[in-house]
Amino acid sequence: MMHHQLAIQAKFCPEILERILRVTRHRGFQICALNMDHTTDSGNVSIELTVSSQRSINLLFSQLMKLVDVAGVEIKHKESQLSA
């Protein structure tokens, strides 16, 4: 399994987290960690998402970029985990 860390910048709206989680699940990625920081001044939200899958992270990246309220996605970190 490969672990990937994504940094997502988006416009804050009540359904943005649900949309991101739905796309992640539908593309076959398992969520390992999630951190969300909402800045009330700018109306934006920063989401750090750690996912794992055998699939290419580019598949998830391209689908997240298509979401209307997502301003940007950055692939921060990748590591492989050996299964025993």
CATH of the domain spanning 2-76: 3.30.70.260
Residue 22: per-residue pLDDT: 97
How do the pLDDT tens digits run along the chain, 84 residues long? 889 999 999 999 989 999 999 999 999 999 999 999 987 778 899 999 999 999 999 999 999 999 999 999 999 976 665 544
Residue 84: per-residue pLDDT: 43
Task: Tell whether pTM > 0.85.
Answer: yes
Residue 38: per-residue pLDDT: 87
Three-state SS for the chain is: CEEEEEEEEEECCCCHHHHHHHHHHHCCCEEEEEEEEEECCCCEEEEEEEEEECCCHHHHHHHHHCCCCEEEEEEEEEEECCCC
